[in-house]
Each structure stands twice: as structure tokens, then as C-alpha cells.
Structure 1
């Protein structure tokens, strides 16, 4: 039998059909297995873990066959309980697969510490954004006689003088003592000096 006749023979076509069925069946079983092992079409809604403790979040995720990983502790936020969850990824409401890892960040127990910046001889307009950038607050401002208007002459905390470099908690209030832009003597002294000059002038004129 020639090769051409063999290609069109019943035996060859039968074997080809059997091979095709085997391949199709194998592909179907493989796709079914992939879908089963990856829970194809089955999704889980990520719960809202905000303000929960790590233990509470773990219990909630275990019920849904989800895992978690703690990434970091963020700066203290007074709107959240201490050591509670502040951020999560994926966020609540998203659809994920079973055993998906949820990445968490928790709240610190207190504010972190920063160093008091050197604000002496800086203007009030420069001092305010510098303090806020470090997470500090501007407290009371008082003025003293000084030629430099609104220049920082002294820094205080709770009424006590402080120096640059002191470590304090964020959100601490720093009081500023500023110059009032006036010459460093009062008007009464100025008036007395003027009267003395006038009297000397009268004596000279006589």
C-alpha cells in the first residue's frame, strides 16, 4: 500500500480520530483541574479590618481562608486605637482568591520623637512651616521689645526655655518669643531724655 493510500485509509483516519479525542480529553481534564485548584470563578470579598486588633483581624481572615502579613507600624494616629490596623492592602470590598495575603499596617502606641529645630533669629513666617513639617505645633506667641519685628528670640515649652536639638514627641506645642519691632527702650525714658535736651537748649539760649 502506497503512503497516499494509507493517509486516506479507514485505519489511519480511525487512529487520527482516536488521537484527537485523547488530546481534547486531556486538555479538558487539565483545564478542569486548573480551575478546581485555583478556585476558578470563586472570589472572596476582603473584609474591613480598620481599627481591629491584630488578633481580631486574624480571626476574621481565618474564617474567610485568607492570610495576612504585618508590614510596618506607622506614626501614631489619635483617630485609631493603639496597635489597631490603620491600613490594609487590598482594601476592603475587593475580590480576591482563597489564601490571598492581606498586607497590614498598625498604629503605634504613641507619637514618635523629633528634635526641636533651631529657630533663633528666624522670622515667624519661617518658623511656623518648619515646626509643622516636623509634626510640631505652634503654641503661644509673646512679644518683647526688640528692633527685629517678628524675629524668634527664644523658644519655650510649658513656660520653660528650650534649646534646639531637644527631643520631644510629635504634636508638642512650642511657644515662641518674638521681637515687637520697637527700639529697646520705653516711651517714658524717651520723654525724659527729650525734656533734658530741651532744658539744656533753654539754658544755652539764655
Structure 2
């Protein structure tokens, strides 16, 4: 029997037909099983968790059969309550399946600490610019007798003397001690 005759034979065509039917049955069963095991028709809308405390988040997500993971806190935001949610992933309104993890970023309890750089002996304008750039606010100016006019001779935080290298919370108000330019 030649190859061409074998390809035209009923036995070969029967085997090809059975193989195609088997493949179609396998695909149908696989599709049904995946739809069943992955909860294909289920979807839960993610709630808006912004400004909620961790206890409120836990209750709300437990009711919806969702999990959450707290990731590293972001920079302090004074517009949000302390230890409340400031970001979430997936976003509010997205659809997910049960037991999906919602990743939360919380608002820390205060601004992070920033080191005061070595700025003594520089002009008021330079120091104000540099302190503002790293997140501090400049408050009052006090003057002491000194040869250099508007040269920074010290720092104060809440009336107390602070030194370069000390750490203060970001957004703190630092008062500057300046020379008056009249000498000693």
C-alpha cells in the first residue's frame, strides 16, 4: 500500500476524525473547568478606601471577602488622617475576584526626619533657599552683633538652639540667627 492510498483509506480518515473529536472534547472540558475553578463569572467592585483607618479597611474588605497588604508608608500628607489609606492598588471601582489582595499605602504618623545641613557662615538667601529645598520652613530672623550682615550664625527650633547634623521633622519651622553687620 502506498502512502497516497493510506492517506485516502477509511482507517486513516477515521483516526483523524477521532483525533479531532478528542481535541474538541478536551478543549470544551478544559474551558468549562477553567471557568468553574477561576470563578470566571464572579466580580467584586473594589471600594474606595481613601482616608479610612486600618480597622475600617479590615472590616470592609472582610465583608467583601478580599484581603489586603500594607506596603511601605509614603511621605506624610497633612490632608489625610494619621495611619489612614492614601493609595490603593487596584484602584477604587476596579473589578476583582474573591480573596484578591488589595495593596495599601498608609499615611505615616508624622513627617520623616531630615538632617540640618552645614550652612553656618552662608548668607541668609542661600540658607533660606537650601532649607526650603530640603523641606523645612524658615520662620523668624533674630540678629546678633556680628561683622557679617545677614550671615547665618545659628539655628533655633521652637526657641531651642539646634546644630547642623541634628534631625528635625520635615516641614518644621526653623528660625535663623543672623549677623547684624555692625561688628562685635
For residue 95 of structure 1, report the CA deviation from its aligned partner.
3.5
**Which residue matches 1:52?**
52
Which deviates the most, 23-32 or 102-111? 102-111
Give matches, 1:83-94, under 5 Å. Answer: 83-94=83-94
- The 1:7–1:127 alpha-carbon spacing in structure 2 relative to 1, beyond 3 Å, is same
For residue 12 of structure 1, report the CA deviation from its aligned partner.
4.1
Partners in 2 of 1:45 and 1:35 — Cα distance? 19
**Which residue matches 1:29?**
29
Partners in 2 of 1:119 and 1:11 — Cα distance? 93
Say how many residue pairs are matched.
184
**Which residue matches 1:76?**
76
**Which residue matches 1:140?**
140
**Which residue matches 1:165?**
165
* Structure whose alpha-carbon radius of gyration is higher: 1
- The 1:24–1:124 alpha-carbon spacing in structure 2 relative to 1, beyond 3 Å, is same
**Which residue matches 1:176?**
176
Deviation digits for residues 18-56 of structure 1 (CA, Å, limit 9, x no counterpart): 332121111111122223323336443322111112222
**Does 2:86 correspond to 1:65?**
no
Partners in 2 of 1:166 and 1:2 — Cα distance? 93
SS in 1 for 2:150: coil
Which one has a larger percent helix, Structure 1 or Structure 2?
1
- The 1:19–1:163 alpha-carbon spacing in structure 2 relative to 1, beyond 3 Å, is closer
Which deviates the most, 171-180 or 32-41? 32-41
- The 1:8–1:163 alpha-carbon spacing in structure 2 relative to 1, beyond 3 Å, is closer
Partners in 1 of 2:41 and 2:123 — Cα distance? 63
Using structure 1 for the length normalisation, give the TM-score. 0.73
SS in 2 for 1:103: strand
Give matches, 1:86-105, under 5 Å. Answer: 86-105=86-105
Partners in 2 of 1:157 and 1:121 — Cα distance? 18
* Conserved? CA contact 2:148–2:183, under 8 Å: no
**Does 2:15 correspond to 1:20?**
no
Which deviates the most, 10-19 or 121-130? 10-19
- The 1:125–1:8 alpha-carbon spacing in structure 2 relative to 1, beyond 3 Å, is same
Using structure 2 for the length normalisation, give the TM-score. 0.80
For residue 140 of structure 1, report the CA deviation from its aligned partner.
0.5
